[in-house]
Amino acid sequence: MLLPSAVILGVFVLYPLGRAVWLGQQRCDNFGNNCVSQGFGQYLDLFRSTEFQNALGVTIRFALITVPAGVILGVGLAVLADKYLRGIGVFRGIFSSTVATSVAVASLMWLFLLQPSVGALANIGWFNSLFPSVKSPGWLQDPDTALWAVSASSVWANLGFTFILVTAGLQSIPRDLHEAAAVDGAGGVRRFWSITVPMLGPTLLFVVIVSSTRAFQAYGEIDLLTGGGPQPTNPTTTIPYFIYGQNSPIRNDTGLQAGAAVLLFLLLLVLSGLQLAGVGRRVHYGD
* Residues in 208-267 at the binding interface with another protein, rule: CB under 8 A: 210, 213-214, 216-217, 219-220, 223-224, 239-240, 243-244, 254, 257-258, 261-262, 264-265
Note whether 8 binds another protein by CB under 8 A.
Answer: yes
Question: Which of 26, 59, 66, 115: binder of another protein (CB under 8 A)?
Answer: 115
Note whether 17 binds another protein by CB under 8 A.
Answer: yes
What gap in Å lies between CA 92 and CA 86, rounded to an integer? 12
Note whether 103 binds another protein by CB under 8 A.
Answer: yes
Where does residue 33 fall: left (phi above 0), alpha (psi -120 to 50 degrees), or beta otherwise? beta
Q: How far is the CB of 188 from another protein (least distance, A)?
A: 7
Q: How far is the CB of 41 from another protein (least distance, A)?
A: 20
Note whether 129 binds another protein by CB under 8 A.
Answer: no
Question: Which of 33, 50, 84, 184: binder of another protein (CB under 8 A)?
Answer: 84
Residue closer to another protein by CB (options 18, 68) is 18
Stretch that binds another protein, among 77-85, 129-137, 139-147, 229-237 (CB under 8 A): 77-85
Q: 137: cis peptide before it, omega within 30°? A: yes
Size of the site for another protein (CB under 8 A): 95
Question: Which of 35, 79, 109, 177: binder of another protein (CB under 8 A)?
Answer: 109
Where does residue 179 fall: left (phi above 0), alpha (psi -120 to 50 degrees), or beta otherwise? alpha
Note whether 194 binds another protein by CB under 8 A.
Answer: no
Q: How far is the CB of 240 from another protein (least distance, A)?
A: 5
What gap in Å lies between CA 65 and CA 152, rounded to an integer? 9
Stretch that binds another protein, among 55-63, 64-72, 140-148, 156-164 (CB under 8 A): 156-164
Note whether 165 binds another protein by CB under 8 A.
Answer: yes
For residue 40, give the 3-state DSSP assignment: coil
What gap in Å lies between CA 61 and CA 147, rounded to an integer? 8
Question: Bridge partners of 37?
Answer: 26
63, 70, 102, 77: which is closest to 207 by C-alpha? Answer: 70
Q: How far is the CB of 77 from another protein (least distance, A)?
A: 7
**What are the b/e assignments for 9-25, b being 16+ CB within 10 Å?**
eeeeeeeeeeebbebbb
Note whether 1 binds another protein by CB under 8 A.
Answer: yes
Handedness of CA 67, 73, 78, 79 (dihedral sign): positive
Note whether 40 binds another protein by CB under 8 A.
Answer: no
Handedness of CA 84, 86, 89, 92 (dihedral sign): negative
